[in-house]
Amino acid sequence: MLIDPVIPLLWISAIALVMSAATIWHYWRSARHLSVFKSIFLLLLRLGGIAIVILLLLQPYREEKIQQASIKRQLWVAVDDSLSMDETHQNGASRLDAVKQDLMETGLLQTAPDQVRFYTFSQNAQNTTAESLLSLKATGATTKFHSACSNIMLKSAYDASPSALVLFTDGHDFELTAAGDTARLATERGIPIYAVPYGTLESAQDISVQLANYHPHAFIKQRTRLDAVVRSIGYPQQQFQVKLLCDGKVVQSKDIQNQSQTWQTVSFDVTHEEPGQYEYTMQVDPLKGEREVNNNAASTYLNVISERLRVLEIEGKPFWDSTFLRRSFTRNDKFDIDSLVAFTNDKIRPIRSNPDHKSLELAVPASVDDFKPYDIVIFGRNVEKVIGKQGIEAVEKWVRVHNGILIFARGNAWDQTWPEFDNLTPVTWDTNTPRGTRMELTRAGAGLPPCQMIQDVIKDDHYPELTAYHHEGKLRDLSDVLTQDDADAPIMVYRHYGNGQTLSLGAANLWRWVFHPMTEYQNNSYDRFWDQMALWLLANGGVAPQGGYSLRTERANVPLGESIKAVFSSHGIDPPATAPEISIFHNDVLVTKITMTPRNDREPAEYGLDFEPQQPGRYRLETTTPDGKKLVAKFIANRDEWETLETAMDLGYLEQLTAASGGRMMTPDAIKELLKSLEREAEEAPPMIKKNPLWDQALILYASAFFFAMDWLLRRRWGLT
């Protein structure tokens, strides 16, 4: 028997001695008139009670040994099989061959299957075996760490967590997900990530050209800026020339002196006197030692029109935001903007940007037919002062049924409570609590031309902060957040509504972009943003700037692996009786024929199709209209060879990933120590000692009650106090 004293043993001994001595002295004096037998009996009863109290203070217990089951935790090993693993490692072999050699030398491939589980990963992750790893080839088109790690966790969601996840990789990640987000998946399951890096700090030599914007429409005699991003790897301090070709002929060129930066933007301004579709190509002649020359050129198609796009602005509470927005569209030759602005005394002031239309009356629209002449409607604040509830009802039907495009440029457009119009807005804003912030792109907005314009604003600290609003409640269904603030709160929200589109901007003071000290006033970021946003919305909705039949694609360039949308529209003319058949040509060779499908049930004037190109090159879509005319739309498919060009080992990413998950970077030799620790964990664990208390028994309770109760009862019976 062992003891676990409540208080120090010396104190307990002192308490026992004092209580026993006091009891003997008291009982000897108080029981003098009793017989010796009775006196000794009472004394023994009280001393028995004291003994039980002392026993409770000592807390005696008995030890019991319990044998524990052995601990077996696996080690998860994931090998990168993307194309970049075919590049050279430091020892001259390929990175994947170096991985295989290290796996053999560390003994991982010879380890029992219940100790090590193997995966391969690139775009995703797959289970594999030690035997399969020996014949593994580097074939993955790209590397996505977040998707791969998520897939590994999902495949093993119901298994015991491993001791660690070890990645054999060069660290390339083209998913653009923060390393901390990926590490969070591992820490939630208690899995530290270790990484063994492979490769060198050098990439293949390459020059590539990518388009930075897309203009589906331009107006005759209007200056249109074509931007391209030129990426240079492995050519420091070298000068090269970027050429602009129109329909195969060089029309402009610019020399670039490559400095330390990898990316440089090149811009060309073009104008056309006649309408039509023009093919533009920006290219750099191949340089010596280039790995890939097919990405030295990027092409787009510019549709030059002679009819302007019509915009209607409705503003019930004018401010600088609405004034500068109207001026931006007025300066843009692609657009005619009509404005209805409420002033004091409920007066409505009509403003026309086209001097040829200023003599024409601009009445307040009240029906769907009044909105049909316009391609885009822009709401400011308190629009009910201008068009009333009847006008809002007409706009709602125009958007929902007739493919209208509605922009909420200043947050909430009306102050009234009208639940029937709640679905028209992608989101509701709380305009009473503005805050200063900067916009950041979301995944949904990163690839859109208007949002790409914001990249310049994000990177340049000379641009002032925006005044943004908090959103109330949840976003409406089918809504996409295109931009957000640094707290991931939405700022710009896009939504399909019925057959049309809506865009809501929960921010103010974008007009301050006009006064950036380093920008050209006639080509400032604010004007270019609204130009690209309006054109993207029009192209996305299949809206054509001219009457009759039209065929167009949503963009002029598409990466392989993505689909492109084409739209056949009828404007001011009866739609075809049957769905159009589209012939698709790749480099002038017929690939397939596809019958388009109606885009909606209410308005059969539009048909659409989705097509995913399988090979890079130029594609042409052709169809014949009911009146016998041939319509043509063109686009270019390109392949991004990032995986084989950006081949430098990314130690920075791997260090962030491992540190955030509780792991670390390691060498192949350290794998052996991991295996040894795994074996030590699997050894028979020492028995666990369990304490079985002996003092909290019913017998002790009964005994203490007996001693004290009998002592009290006999003392009363024999005449003692």
Is it the case that residue 206 has pLDDT exceeding 90?
Answer: no
Percent of the chain residues topping a pLDDT of 90: 20
Is it the case that residue 255 has pLDDT exceeding 60?
Answer: yes
Give the confidence band of 602 by pLDDT, cuts at 50, 70, 90.
very low
Nearest-angstrom CA–CA distance, 406 and 404:
6
The CATH classification number of 206-305 equals 2.60.40.10
Is it the case that residue 143 has pLDDT exceeding 50?
Answer: yes
- Decide whether 75-202+647-682 matches 548-638 in CATH topology: no
Q: How many helices (H) and strands (E) does the chain have?
A: 15, 37
- pLDDT tens digits, residue range 6-22? 888 888 889 888 888 88
pLDDT score recorded for residue 532: 79
- pLDDT tens digits, residue range 20-60? 888 888 777 776 677 778 778 878 888 888 888 888 888 88
Give just the sign of the alpha carbon dihedral 209, 213, 216, 220: negative
Taking the whole predicted model, whether its pTM rises above 0.75 is answered as no
* Closest CA relative to residue 247, chosen from 284, 304, 302: 302
Is it the case that residue 219 has pLDDT exceeding 80?
Answer: no
- Helical ranges in 332-448 per DSSP H: 368-371, 384-402
Is it the case that residue 65 has pLDDT exceeding 60?
Answer: yes
Parse the chain into domains and list their residue ranges.
2-65+688-717, 75-202+647-682, 206-305, 309-540, 548-638
Pick the CATH number of 309-540 from 3.40.50.2300, 3.40.50.620, 3.40.50.880, 3.50.50.60: 3.40.50.880
- pLDDT tens digits, residue range 223-244? 788 888 887 777 777 788 999 9
> In sequence order, what are the beta bridge partners of 581?
595
**Section 402-412 average pLDDT:** 89
Is it the case that residue 180 has pLDDT exceeding 70?
Answer: yes
- pLDDT tens digits, residue range 337-364? 999 999 876 788 888 887 776 667 788 8
- Residue 505, both tokens: 């901007």
The CATH classification number of 75-202+647-682 equals 3.40.50.410
Helix (H, G, I), strand (E, B) or coil at 623: strand
Quick one: fold of 548-638?
Immunoglobulin-like (2.60.40)
Beta-carbon count within 10 A of 613 CB: 22
Is it the case that residue 274 has pLDDT exceeding 60?
Answer: yes
The DSSP line for 60-87 is: EEEEEEEPPPPP---EEEEEE-BGGGGS
- Residue 642, both tokens: 């990032």
CB 491 within 8 Å of CB 483: yes
Instruction: Give Cα separations from 180 to 162, 190, 463 (angstroms).
Output: 20, 15, 29
- pLDDT tens digits, residue range 513-522? 777 666 665 6
The DSSP line for 149-194 is: HHHHHHHTTTSPPPSEEEEEE-----S---HHHHHHHHHHTT--EE
pLDDT score recorded for residue 196: 93
- CB burial of 633-668 (b: ≥16 within 10 Å; e: otherwise) equals bbbbbbbbbbbbbbbbbbeebbbbbbbbbebebbeb
Q: Which of 216-220, 524-528, 678-682 has the highest mean pLDDT?
A: 524-528
Residues present in the chain in total: 721
CA angle 39–42–44, rounded 5-degree value: 105
Lowest mean pLDDT among 261-270, 381-390, 514-523, 641-650: 514-523
Nearest-angstrom CA–CA distance, 75 and 695:
46
- pLDDT tens digits, residue range 79-129? 999 988 988 887 778 999 999 999 988 888 888 777 889 999 998 899 999
